[in-house]
Amino acid sequence: MSGPRHNYVIRSKRQMRALAASTRQEIVDVLSRMGTVSVAELATALARPADSLYYHLRILKRVGLVLSAGSRRLAGRSEALFRAVAPELSLCYQLGRKGNGREVNAIIASMLRLGIRDFGESFEAATAAVSGPNRELWGLRVTGWLTQDRRDVRIAGSTLFSHRMDSVKRPVALASTPAK
């Protein structure tokens, strides 16, 4: 079996619908970052019980975003290993009525919920630097207007970042990749 490609572009609506669940986004993020891991290692990284991850792993395997990576023996027991389809994932945006806006928006909404959760936890823990060159906690909203074909197009983006997110997680890249 060959190693994972560097970047995988998600074009399938089925794969996108699977990523609308925040738990599945977290699983893919950790697998992308950590490489090949067992469910126990994944559970530790996500601070969740291992038995709560099997359902999500099955869905991610079924849509091809997570792959079985064999097994290993540990303390006399065999444990299954998993890895992401690639170290980096990006979404292919298909604009228009027949595009994938519904699926992409569901992923974005889930990402924002995760960001809000992590931001709030970091804020309450009161351990993050909130100013200076080592700042770890901030929120940002940027809005701009572009004129194209005499129509005004509003572009808005929001970012929440906490030191907790940086320690283990890396969000799915939201690169606009032209559809083929």
User: Which of 7, 6, 30, 28 lies closest to 16 in space, CA to CA?
Assistant: 28
Give residue 144's pLDDT. Answer: 61
The predicted model gives 125-130 an average pLDDT of 80
Residue-wise pLDDT for 59-103, tens only, equals 999 999 999 998 888 888 888 999 999 999 888 888 888 999 899
**Token pair belonging to 135:** 């700042």
Residue 60 near residue 27 (C-beta atoms within 8 A): yes
Helices marked H in the chain — which ranges? 13-18, 22-34, 39-46, 54-62, 101-125, 163-168
pLDDT at 148: 57
Beta sheet of 37-38, edge-to-edge order = 37-38, 77-84, 66-74
Separation between Cα atoms, residue 153 and residue 129, nearest integer Å = 36
Q: Which residue has the higher pLDDT, 64 or 144?
A: 64
Q: Rounded CA gap, 35 and 161, in Å?
A: 23
Decide: 102 and 116 in contact? Cβ < 8 Å.
no
For residue 152, give the 3-state DSSP assignment.
strand
pLDDT tens-digit readout, 5-19: 588 999 999 999 999
pLDDT of residue 19: 93
Contact 9, 177 (CB under 8 A): yes
Please give the pLDDT value at position 115: 83
Domains within the chain, CATH numbers bracketed: 1-180 (1.10.10.10)
Among the listed residues 48, 38, 132, the one whose alpha carbon sits nearest the alpha carbon of residue 77 = 38
